[in-house]
Structure formats: structure tokens, C-alpha cells
Amino acid sequence: MNLARRASAEFTGTGLLVAAVVGSGIAATRLSPDDVGLQLLENAVATALALAALILIFGPVSGAHLNPVVSAVDWWLGRPTRTGLAGRDLLAYALAQAAGAIGGAILANLMFGLPVVTAAATARSGANLWLAETVATGGLVLLIVALARSGRAVTAPAAVGAYIGAAYWWTSSTSFANPAVTIGRMFSDTFAGIAPASAPAFLAAQIAGGLLAVAAIAWWYPGSRPAASDVVVPRAQQEATPR
């Protein structure tokens, strides 16, 4: 499939993911205004289910990365066998994901009758949160590549959705685990928002998590197998361009 088609899938998929995260957060605060725990549960369940569905929709088109760290790891691991993203593909994916995430936050704001853009004011700072983002992102990438390298990529929609839904609860940061989602959530001052001043440290932690995952993959899943094209799920067709 040509790059424009795949990038548009990443744009739309990431946008709908952020719309699900932010929109379910808004709905949760309106439906359960006095119970933060219930709000988080509602937000987590909606996000996990939406993520699984979006992987099913866009996986055959672009691989359904929906996450710049996942795309970067796909590029890195695929270099030896030329099965992953090319450099220009990685750039296109990352830009599409970031733009889609911002669009998704705007869409959620509009669907719930809020101003188009509201800069988030929720501060999320502290070494414990940064550690949580490192762990959450590393675990997500490790899961995805482990599935691909063991021939179980078909289970990715359920597995990835379950992981993120659970990580909402077992990480102190509620598992953003995605630089594009972090950027998008700056544009909605709601339950799921993150203050712009808090975002750079989250982004750094997510990158660190991706690097740790690559090291873990080299140790636990060694070898250059032609499995990069199965991240997150097998793409229907690889673009026949030099890698």
C-alpha cells in the first residue's frame, strides 16, 4: 500500500484513539462526578475496547502502530531484513500520529460541547510518574514485538487492548505509553488532559521505555527474523521500495 494511504490510516486511527481517551474521560466525569475511581474505570474500559477495535480496523492497512515509539522500534528492528518501516515512512507515520492525536482531542472537545481547544491544566509530574511511563511504554513495546516474533500477532488487538486497560490501574501515570497521545491530551483541559509543562518529561520517559524494550527484545527474542512487518499486526502488503 502506498505511503499516503498508510499514513492516513495512522492519522485517523490515532485520532480516534485520542478521541476515545479524551471523550470517555469527559463522559466519565459527567456520569460519575463524585467518584474518581469509577471515572478511571470507565475511562480505562472505553480506551481498551476502542484500542482493540482500532487495531482491527487499521492493522491490515498500516500495521496500526498509532504510536511513534512503536513505529520507531518497527523501523529499528526491521533494518537487517528490510521488513520494517523505511526512514521516510517512520517520519510520515510519526507526523501523522501526532497530527491525528491533536485532531482527536479537538474532535472529543467538539462532541461534548466544549471549546475547540482548551489547554490542559492537569499537572502530571514527579519521578514516580516518569518511572511509570518508562515501564508502561517498555512493556507495551515488548508485548507487541514478542507477539510478532513468536507468530502470535493475530492476538495483538485483544492483547494490546488488555495491556493498556490494565496499565491504567497498575501504573501511577495511568499509562499514556504513547508520545502522540501525550501530545494530543495537552489540547483538552479535561479528565484525561496533561499540562503542556508536564509533557516533555513524559515524552522522554516514553522514549526511554522504548529503548529499554529494544534491549530486552535483543536478550529475550534474539535474531533478525522477518517479523517487523507484523508490528502491530501484519500489514496487507509491503510497499516495494528500497529500505
Domains of the chain: 3-223 (1.20.1080.10)
DSSP string covering 179-194: HHHHHHGGG--STT--
Distances (CA, A) of 51 to 67, 85, 125, 150, 163: 12, 22, 26, 22, 10
Are 16 and 50 spatial neighbours (Cβ–Cβ below 8 Å)? yes
- With a CB cutoff of 8 Å and minimum separation 6, the contacts of 44 are 165, 168, 169, 174
Chain centroid, CA 207 distance in Å: 12
Task: Return per-residue pLDDT of the chain as tens, 243 residues.
Answer: 699 999 999 999 999 999 999 999 999 999 999 999 999 999 999 999 999 999 999 999 999 999 999 999 999 998 888 888 999 999 999 999 999 999 999 999 999 999 999 999 999 999 999 999 999 999 999 999 999 999 999 999 999 999 999 999 999 999 999 999 999 999 999 999 999 999 999 999 999 999 999 999 999 998 655 566 788 888 765 444 444
pTM of the model: 0.94
